[in-house]
Amino acid sequence: MKYTSTRGDVMVDETYALLHGLAEDGGLYVPSTFPSNSLTYEMIANKSYQEIAVIVLEKLFTSFSQKALREMVQSAYSEINFDTSDIAPLHSLSEHVSILELFHGRTQAFKDMALSLFPYLLVAAKKIEKESKNILILTATSGDTGKAALEGFKDVEGTHIQIFYPTDGVSPMQKEQMQKQEGSNVNVTAINGNFDDAQQFLKRLFVDETMADTVAQKDVMFSSANSINIGRLAPQIIYYVFTYAELVSTGAIHTDETFNVVVPTGNFGNILAAYYAKKMGIPIGKLICASNQNNVLTDFFNTGTYDMNRPFYTTISPSMDILESSNFERFLYYISGEDSERTSFWMETLKKTGCVSVNEDELKRIQHDFSGAYIDDEETKSIIDEVYNSYGYLLDPHTAVAMGAYIKELQLHLELEQQHTVIAATAHPFKFPDPICEALHIQQGHNAYESLEAISAVTGVAFPKQLLELRNKKLRFTKTIDKEAMKEEILLFVDSFVK
């Protein structure tokens, strides 16, 4: 499969796109011919997660043999990496609402769904591309990508990984998970700045030829584990396809019935994967984009204008504290009818003015598939409390934002109530002890672990094993730098592993 850029007509192999992450023109790689309507129910009926994974990946990646893909998938979606053989179980909350649990991987966030597989794709791509340089994965994180990427790449031969996270922009548990990371090829650095700062810096760095030359002389090349990489996006399509098979097999929907999805959104990667699944033939009805107070996307879906000129809020759903959603560019590309010139123009405008608008026809088409809604922190805590009291089910703050957005949409569109809707649950609630304590009126402990013990005692939710083990691990990475020093930090890390 050839991939092209959202901003121009370059053509590269998928292995090149996987290896380099971002296109040289600054655009994002997209399939040059989209495998539209290539999936049917018959193809996925009664298949396991791993079997469905191979079927989906084959549509987007053709350089790897089926055997190779099968091996990668078996290693990634194993019972070592996931605490359930379903991999992404569907929890039925009520007749018309299911929760898609995407947090059963090693780091208790949905990022594991892609980052368990991604290192295998990257290493295989490197081999096919005959690339001998060391790969340095550079990744900005709003909390969960960092840990999931670190676990995915830890001690993977021929790779190193550098994570940057905003020092005040992640939950204490997320921070601890990263600061205590093990592995001989990892580096983790906090920055004084927010996620957008870190992500923007890296996107510029990926197209900085001088920097690329500097590290190439040391036999190093950069790549990305952020969802700008097509290797992150493709594995996320799998669970929406799997969901369709599950909903039919449990009788929640008929094969020819649609279901809606609600996705708590930050960088627009997860919801874009749902949109890809829909384009590939999965009968998804509405895609509901849920935001917290950083509601730039809600406004976009309501008005057609994406305006980043607004205050940035730090919320209790930190993985969604993003104003500049990377994958939104891929979305614009499809809205334009795969027109890279129009997409370039939009991205140029966004860069210059912080604001971009689609026309009325385009907005109408967008609203046919998508809608957006947001809730604030107080509402998020109320939802956690209400859902726990009504259903005995504990939501993490991000998933609660999705639930809140769904409830808001129900009030506006009564017909939704009769349709089946799937809420994407993107993190285990135990990653966010403080807001959960506040929501459920549980006295906080002296530290995160004591709070979690109290939550566990009240709700009966068991401690994920990895979080229990984390408690006794040593802090390793406690450095904080100014965002201007990120380049220097990268070069220091390179020198530490280049002989």
Ligand X SMILES: *Cc1c(COP(=O)(O)O)cnc(C)c1O
Q: Which helix (H) or strand (E) holds 191?
A: strand 186-192
CA gap 141, 477 in Å, rounded: 15
Question: CB of 269: closest distance to ligand X in angstroms?
Answer: 3
What type of residue sits at position 369? Answer: D
| Minimum CB distance to ligand X, residue 331 (Å) | 11
Least CB distance to ligand X at residue 461 (A): 17
Structure tokens at 198: 């870190």
Residue found by looking up tokens 């940057």 in the block: 164
Nearer to ligand X, 53 or 320 (CB): 320
What is the spatial distance between Cα 416 and Cα 15, in angstroms, rounded to a whole number?
41
Angle at 48 between CA 45 and CA 49, to 5 degrees: 110
C-beta closer to ligand X: residue 52 or 140: 140
Shortest reach from residue 480's CB to ligand X, in Å: 22
Q: Which is nearer to ligand X, 324 or 409 (CB)?
A: 324
Nearer residue to ligand X within complex by CB, 15 or 108 = 108
Instruction: Kindly report the backbone phi and psi dihedral angles of residue 67, in degrees, each rounded to the nearest multiple of 5, phi listed first.
Output: -65, -45
The nearest distance, CB 214 to ligand X, in angstroms, is 30
Percent helix, strand and coil across the chain, each rounded to 5? 50, 20, 35
Identify which of residues 111 and 160 has a Cβ nearer to ligand X in the complex: 111
Best CA proximity match to 141, nearest among 169, 114, 113:
169
Closer CB to ligand X, 139 or 227, in the complex:
227
Euclidean distance between CA atoms 2 and 12, whole angstroms: 6
What is the SS3 assignment for 132?
coil
Distance CA 421, CA 401 (A): 15
For residues 400 and 417, what is the distance between their CA atoms, to the nearest angstrom? 18
The two structure tokens encoding residue 295: 């509601």
d(CA 298, CA 405): 10
- Comparing CB distances to ligand X, the nearer of 113 and 347 is 113
Q: How many CB atoms lie within 10 A of CB 374?
A: 22
Smallest gap, in angstroms, from Cβ of residue 392 to ligand X? 21
* Beta partners for residue 91, in sequence order: 99
161: exposed, middle or buried (Cβ count in 10 Å: 0-12, 13-18, 19+): buried
User: Least distance from C-beta 271 to ligand X, angstroms?
Assistant: 6
- Between 121 and 424, CB nearer to ligand X: 424
Query: Minimum Å distance from CB 264 to ligand X?
Result: 5
215 secondary structure, DSSP code? H
Size of the chain, expressed as the number of residues it contains: 499
Nearer to ligand X, 48 or 81 (CB): 81
CB of 285 to ligand X, least distance (A): 20
List the structure tokens of 176.
């601890």
> Least separation, in Å, of the C-beta of 276 and ligand X?
12
Q: What secondary structure letter does DSSP report for 290?
A: E
Residues that bind ligand X (CB under 6 A): 109-111, 144, 227, 264-270, 319-320, 398, 426-427
Nearer to ligand X, 147 or 160 (CB): 147
